[in-house]
Amino acid sequence: MRRYYKVWTASVAACLAILIVAALVLPHSFALTALGDLIQFLLLLSGTLSLIHHIVRTNGRLRLFWVLITAGVGLWFCYQALWVYFEVFLRAEVPDLFAGDVVLFLHIVPLMAALALRPHVHQDEYAARLRNLDFALLAVWWVYLYVLAVIPWQYVIPDATPYLRNLNSLYLIEKVALLATILFCWRGSRNGWRKFYASLFGACLTYAVSSYVANWALSRRTYYTGSLYDIPLAISMAWITIIGLQTQSHNPQTERRSAYRHNGVWLARVGMIAAFSLPLFGIWALIEAVPSLIKSFRLELTLGAAILIGVMVFVRQRLLDRELLRLLTHSQQSLSNLKHLQAQITESEKLASIGQLVTGAAHELNNPITAMLGYSDLLVLSKPLNAEQNKLAAKIGQHARRTKSLVASLLSFAKPAPATFAPVDLKTLLRTAVKLSQSQWQTRQTEMQLEFPEGLLLVRGDSNQLLQVFVQIMNDVLSAVDRVQSGKLIVCAESVENTAVIQISDDKSLRPEQNDQSAGAILSNLGLNACQTILKQHQGRLLCSEEEQPGVLIRVELPLITTSQEKSNAAALPAWQTQPFS
């Protein structure tokens, strides 16, 4: 690709060298005129083609930028094609009152539109819409100026002298405005875009100076196509190709940074100035000493332009009002969300303080509880006690162990450890939980019965946290069993629709076959609250039912890890295996 660019650049340089040699060597003749026109035609064609590549490989606002740049150079190329048609094919001079002059004047308008997009700066959709509308207003204003100053002397009352004077003056103002816009964009750009704007400014400045000199030579009847006056003009045309090829190599993109908040202010202010200038041009049309036909034409034109631009200003203000209303609504929502967030932060800080207090209290409680457990064991082992004393000592130990379990749950609730999820077999986990709580149910002389289905019951979770949950639940149920004076604790597990259902109950509670609704209110017990928090992390839930009749039932639900074969059999409940635990 670089070799291809080098060949292209060398071809452009060769065309430029031929024109320079011809201007220095050949006399004023048709051959020199034809050669000058054709070389300028080729140079502008090359510049247009070098920019089309950018349209193909870009999108969005950047593509629109390159479309407008290409359109501006393309109009310049079309104007040169008209000169080739007159001077080469017709072998005639271009007339002074030339209808194609409007093409030359308008070719700068798309260039300024492209610069107004400011592709080097990131903009939101709303800012881009307003910018496009502002430019459309300015484009209408430029066309209005051309029709106001030039067209009357071309069609209403044809007169070449004021026509050329007004055309050249207006075209000079337009070129100065283009150069000022390029400088403004260059000032706010960086890296590749800065090089692009610098090169574009150099090409446009060369063209502006050379066209001004050529018009000066025309007024003195010393200009002819292919003369030395065309050399700087041809250089500016060749420069366009260099810009297109160099930009393809650098490939500048829109900078991912917030746009400066005043980037669009200048364009809006210029648009407003253009709108308010119409009455001044209307006054000028009234007081200028021109024929009445031209005066009437200008007044009617100014009235029509004022109506059109007024409609555009109204549409712009309407868009601005809608955006301001949207921003106001968004600000109100943000303020409401901020207040809600502040309330949540306050609550979080309170909970954090409570958590720190609870953690400190739990650590302080552990020491006397451990001492109570030790002394209760020593009391049982040191001296032979009667049956009533043994029972009281055992109860002291039971309640001390229960208090120690509650303190452990309190610590887990205040400072939960990060979970490590892996496949866990619930049947093995439940047997381990029963084993760990053995001292509790054996002391109470309670029988444990396990009812498990055949096969594995696999869930994804943290085995340590789930084990803590089931040990805590069993201890709470055992305490409740003491209150209802039941002698058996039943731990059963089953698979229902890809969900593992674990029910822990005494023999006096009713175990319904289906309990898909809330089986009672969730206990507010601190230990069960910690269990509920852990189960929520495992996408499960804990339900508890305490009926008026004697009996306790706690239900735990956890999602199962199933295969496609297991899913097909999920509707059928498995057969129960009933076995006592000893």
Mean pLDDT of 88-111: 90
- Residues 6+ positions from 185 with CB-CB distance below 8 Å: 115, 118, 120, 193, 197
Q: Which of 549, 437, 572, 396 is nearest to 498 (CA)?
A: 572
pLDDT digits 0-9 by tens, 205-222: 999 999 989 888 888 888
Q: What are phi and psi of 91, to 5 degrees?
A: 55, 45
Q: Which of 137, 140, 213, 220 is nearest to 175 (CA)?
A: 213
Cα distance between residue 94 and residue 82, in whole Å: 9
Cα distance between residue 254 and residue 256, in whole Å: 6
Q: Is the pLDDT at 355 greater than 80, yes or no?
A: no
3-state secondary structure 372-411: HHHHHHHHHHHCCCCHHHHHHHHHHHHHHHHHHHHHHHHH
pLDDT category at 573 given cuts 50, 70, 90 is very low
| Residue 403, pLDDT score | 76
Q: Which of 48, 24, 47, 53 is nearest to 36 (CA)?
A: 24
Given a contact cutoff of 8 angstroms between Cβ atoms, the answer to whether 474 and 437 are in contact is yes
pLDDT digits 0-9 by tens, 54-92: 888 888 778 888 999 999 999 999 999 999 999 999 998
- 478 Rama sector, left if φ>0, alpha if ψ -120 to 50, beta otherwise: alpha
Domains delineated in the chain: 2-253 (1.20.1070), 419-581 (3.30.565.10)
Mean pLDDT of 449-472: 84
Pairing outcome for strands 447-453 and 488-496: parallel
pLDDT digits 0-9 by tens, 267-317: 667 777 888 888 888 888 888 888 989 999 999 999 998 898 888 888 877
Q: Which of 552, 418, 434 is nearest to 491 (CA)?
A: 434
pLDDT digits 0-9 by tens, 364-417: 677 787 777 777 777 666 667 777 777 777 777 777 776 776 676 666 655 555
CA distances from 63 to 159, 194, 243 (A): 42, 18, 17
Q: Which of 143, 51, 38, 125 is nearest to 87 (CA)?
A: 38
| Residue 255, pLDDT score | 57
Q: Which tokens is 525 given?
A: 């017990």
Q: Which tokens is 132 given?
A: 């496009």
- What three-state secondary structure class fits 298? helix
